[in-house]
Structure formats: structure tokens, C-alpha cells
Amino acid sequence: MSNTKYNPYENAQAQFDKVASILNLDEATRELLRQPMREYHVTIPVHMDDGSVKVFKAYRIQHNDARGPAKGGIRFHPQETIDTIRALSMWMTWKCAVVDIPLGGGKGGVICDTHNLSPREQEQICRGYVRQLASNIGPNNDVPAPDVMTNAQHMLWMLDEYETIHGGRYPGFITGKPVGMGGSLGRTEATGFGVVYVLNEALKELGIDIESTSASFQGFGNVAQYAVRLYLQLGGKVTAISCWDNKDKKSYTFRNVNGMDIDSLLSITDSFGTIDKDKAKALGYEILPGEAWIEQDVDILVPAALENQITAENVNKISKQVKVITEAANGPTTPDADKVINDRGIFVLPDFLTNAGGVTCSYFEQVQCNMNYFWQKDEVLEKLNTKMTSAFKAVYEMAQSRKLTMRDAAYVISINRVAEAVKRRGWV
């Protein structure tokens, strides 16, 4: 999650402080927005399949809800940290604000490894999480969603537990639910497709034909898989993908300089995004070290894994051919690496703009649940494309007019919107 040198929460605060100075925010507003408003630390006892009882640590952080209920995923990960969750909750606030949806920022996490848990044990963790937080989360104050190593089934268990506790039907309590159980069509594709919607608009502004571009991806989970699919559909070429190998406990980069086929890759990929090395070799792929993804001679780099992946230690390995970095992951670039990238003139599409497709579609799911009327997939994806494209154009115009980086411009828009909300409410 985080390494020993870089702290994602400190990174998130440093990014905020920089833009707070640009906006000349008063001291009280700065103090309010640079830290979470509420934190919940809980423990979840679970009766394991072997008869033992194991206690899992869990968190829910609500950064800010001035613009609407807190919104953010719940991740299961063995190296989860409280500072990671704090950072992610902040980024969720800015993410919802930059795409201008009426939600605030939150995030949750449980320290566990789903690879080593049975479905029954995972269900007990989900239900225990809700039992511990049932009075602090809900459709009107904090709406969870899936994240790393959680899925639609986990969300449905949580919904069922919440409805059992509160004695009613509350489909808007949680998003990312299965279709047919209050979930939205298009939600599975939303984050990955949103990444490419933004990338495509950026390439148009830069005068680059997407059909002439090549890309290297880090990560091959849900977001990357759908981003790769749409990018290929639009004519791009993917030459390298890095992914975690759960058996070997390290990552590998799979490369084919002639281009990769998404369907053949998915046929040899497990549910956690691990590509089978032997089968990949048989299909003609080179197997390289995990970090090789960043060294590829491509036009576009897409970090789509975890935080702090482009750092001062590896930023100079980025090829001179790279023109665009599309941040599909949350917080993949450290501030010191960001400076090097900007000095080199590489166009960066910042994370909380680029990967906002998921939360945008989650908002659509809420709206549909509230109406008890569900849209067709084409309608959902069309609305998503409109929202993401509009957000990109606003950020790009801000960057051009004020001579800011895309990241700073996105922050200026989002932080200004949240600061305005807290002032109008009379909080500061």
C-alpha cells in the first residue's frame, strides 16, 4: 500500500497545500480541508472455518461531506494502512467535486487477504464491518462501494446486513451492487472506460491521433482490463502490461511489441488480475521484471495499480518517447516525481479526474435506486462520457488560462468548489 519512504496521506496534504496557496484559502478552511472530519477505527471478530476466531482491523474515514454524503470504496488488503485510507478519502472529495456530482469524500478498508479467506469468512467480514458502522454510514451520510479486492457480492452482503439492522429497504446505501439487485448496468466498465474517455479527449487537444499511439499499463485488474479494451477499440496499441503474481508474491511485465490481444489475455487471467506466465509464454509474450512497464518505448503510460508507483527512484527510467501519463490508479505519482515529469513536458492526466468514472457511475446508480428505474447500458455510458468529457474540458481550460499543470488545475476547480460549500454552510 505505502512504502517506507512515501506516505500517501502526506502526499495528499502536500498537493492540497500547494493549491490552497494558489487559491489564497484562509487558515480555517485550510485546516478543515487538509484532514478528515471523522474517522472510525473498528475491530471485526470472525469465526474462521477452522474453528478459531480471528480479529480484523478496519477503518472508515469521512473526509468531507459539505457537498453531499461521503462517497468512497471499501478495500480489502493485507497491507492496508490508516494513512492510505486518509489519503484516499481526501482524493474522493476532490474527485466528486471535479466531476461536479453532489457527493463528498470517504474511504474504508479492512486489513485482510481475500486470497486466503473462504467465501463464508469474507461474508462474515462484510457483515461485521456493517454491524460496527451501521449508525455512521448510510444513504444520507456515507455511501460505500467496491474497491481493491472487493466486488458486487461483498456489497450485497453489506446491503443485506444494513437492511436487516435498520428494518427496511435501502438500495441507495451502497453502490457497485449486482445488476438486478439495485446495481447499474455499465458500472463494471465505468472506471476503465472513463479513463479512456478522458485520454481520448486529451489526445485530441494535443493533436495526437489515438490510432498512432502505443501504451504500457501497470496493473490488470478491473480498471485496467476495461481501459485496455476501450483503448484498443479506439485504435491504440498496447505493448506491455505489468501485473501482480499472487503465487510468486511479485509483479511481472508481459510484453509483445507487436501489440496485445485483450481477449486472449483475459482467457489466461484469474479473478485477481494475475496473468498465467506459462500460458503467456506459449502465446508469444516476453516475461520481464515487474517494473519494466515504466521503461517501455511507448507514447502513453497508464499506472492502474496502487499508490506511489512513479517515484524519484524510477521516474528517470521513463522513455523519452512518452508524451502522456494517464493516472488510472489513485495517487500513483509522488510529488518529487511529479516535478521531474512536469519539467520534461510530459502531459499528465491526474488521478482524481481520470479515474472518476467509477464514482460518477456510482452516483448514477444512486439516482436510479432512488427513482426505482434503471437505464440501459448505452444510456449509462453515454451519460458517463458526457460527464467525463465535460470535466476534462473544464480542467484543460483552467490549466491553459492560468498556466497551471493539469493536476493543479483539477485541484483548483475541486478545492474551490468544496471551500465554497463549507463557507456557504457557515462552517468557516
174 and 199 together in one domain: no
- Same domain for 154 and 196: no
Asked if pLDDT for residue 148 goes beyond 50, the answer is yes
Cell of 174: 451502497
> Which pLDDT score is estimated for 271?
80
Are 330 and 303 in contact, with CB atoms under 8 Å apart?
A: no
- Same domain (yes/no): 251, 173: no
Confidence at residue 3, expressed as pLDDT on a 0 to 100 scale: 44
Closest among 279, 153, 149, 276 to 221, alpha carbons compared: 149
- Distance, CA of 383 to CA of 381 (rounded, Å): 5
Q: Mind listing the pLDDT tens digit for each residue in 91-114?
A: 999 999 999 999 999 999 999 999
Cβ contact 202:357 at 8 Å: no
Q: Which domain, by its residues, includes 142?
A: 36-183
Q: Which residues pair with 217 in a beta bridge?
A: 241, 302
DSSP 366-379: HHHHHHT----HHH
Phi-psi region of 133 (alpha: psi -120 to 50; beta: other; left: phi over 0): alpha
346 and 205 belong to one structural domain: yes
In tens, the pLDDT along 335-348 reads 899 999 999 999 99
Strands 142-146 and 70-76 turn out to be parallel
Say if strands 38-47 and 53-64 run parallel, antiparallel, or are unpaired.
antiparallel
| Tens digit of each residue's pLDDT (9 = 90 or more) over 251-282 | 999 999 999 999 999 999 988 788 999 999 99
Question: Whats the size of the chain, residue-wise?
Answer: 428
Region of 384 on the Ramachandran plot (φ > 0 left; ψ -120 to 50 alpha; else beta) = alpha
Residues 6+ apart with CB under 8 A from 268: 275, 276, 279, 280, 283
Query: 298 falls in which pLDDT band (50, 70, 90)?
Result: very high
Residues β-bridged to residue 143: 71
Question: Does the pLDDT of residue 51 top 50, yes or no?
Answer: yes
Residue 393 lies in a domain: no
Do both 173 and 208 map to the same domain? no
Chain mean pLDDT for the chain: 95
Q: How far apart are CA 197 and CA 147, in angstroms?
A: 21
H or E element in which residue 220 lies: none
| Per-residue cell: 272 | 485477481
Same domain, 348 and 242: yes
**What average pLDDT does the segment 192-215 reach?**
98
CA dist., res. 211 & res. 6, Å (int): 36
Active site residue 107: yes
Q: Residues 207, 348: one domain?
A: yes
Average pLDDT over residues 17-28: 96
Mean pLDDT for 153-160 is 98
Q: Which of 337, 354, 371 is the last residue of a domain?
A: 354
Helices 187-205 and 222-233: crossing angle, nearest 10°?
A: 50
Domain final residue, candidates 305, 339, 354: 354
Q: Is residue 265 part of a domain?
A: yes
One domain for residues 217 and 302: yes
User: Where does residue 264 rank: exposed (0-12), middle (13-18), buried (19+ CB within 10 A)?
Assistant: middle
Looking at the structure, tell me whether residues 170 and 222 fall in a common domain.
no
Q: Which among 302, 256, 237, 247 has a CA at the least distance from the CA of 274? A: 247
Asked if residue 419 is part of any domain, the answer here is: no
CA atoms within 13 A on the CB side of 396: 18
Catalytic residue from among 18, 57, 95, 107 = 107
Mean pLDDT of 141-160: 95
Determine, yes or no, domain membership for 334. Answer: yes
Identify the weakest region by mean pLDDT among 4-18, 84-98, 200-214, 310-324. 4-18
User: Is residue 211 located within the same domain as residue 336?
Assistant: yes
| Gap between the Cα atoms of 79 and 256, Å rounded | 32
Task: Flag whether 421 is in a domain.
Answer: no
Same domain, 168 and 230: no
Question: Are 204 and 114 in the same domain?
Answer: no
Residue 366 lies in a domain: no
pLDDT, tens only, 389-422: 999 999 999 999 999 999 999 999 999 999 999 9
Interatomic CA distance for residues 302 and 198, integer angstroms: 12
pTM: 0.90
pLDDT at 5: 65
Tell me the mean pLDDT in the region 139-155: 94
CATH code of the domain containing 72: 3.40.50.10860
Q: Is the pLDDT of residue 168 over 80?
A: yes
74 within a domain of the structure (yes/no): yes
Look at the block and give the residue holding cell 502526506: 10
Q: What proportions of the chain, in percent to the nearest 5, are helix, strand and coil?
A: 45, 20, 35
The CATH number covering residue 304 comes to 3.40.50.720
Q: In the chain, how many domains are there?
A: 2
- The string of pLDDT tens digits covering residues 179-201 is 999 999 999 999 999 999 999 99
Per-residue pLDDT, 317: 97
Q: Which of 331, 354, 377 is the last residue of a domain?
A: 354
DSSP state of 305: S
User: Is the residue at 153 inside a domain?
Assistant: yes
d(C-alpha 116, C-alpha 125), whole Å: 13
